[in-house]
Amino acid sequence: MEHNLDFGAEAQGSHTLAILRAHSQQGPLTSDTRFSPGVFLSTDPESDTSCQIHSEPGMLLELTAKGRRPGKWLSLNIELGAMDLSQRSVFGVMCKSRSEDIQTLKICLRSGVEGGFQDVFFGKRMISYNEESTHADLLKLADYPDVPAQAPWRELILFLPPELRQLKLTDLALFGV
Q: Say how far apart CA 66 and CA 149 lie, in whole Å.
A: 39
pLDDT tens digits, one per residue of 33-79: 999 999 999 999 999 999 999 999 999 999 999 989 989 999 999 99
Q: What is the pTM of this model?
A: 0.93
Pick out the chain residues at pLDDT < 50.
1-5
pLDDT at 2: 47
Q: Which of 169, 164, 110 is nearest to 135 (CA)?
A: 169
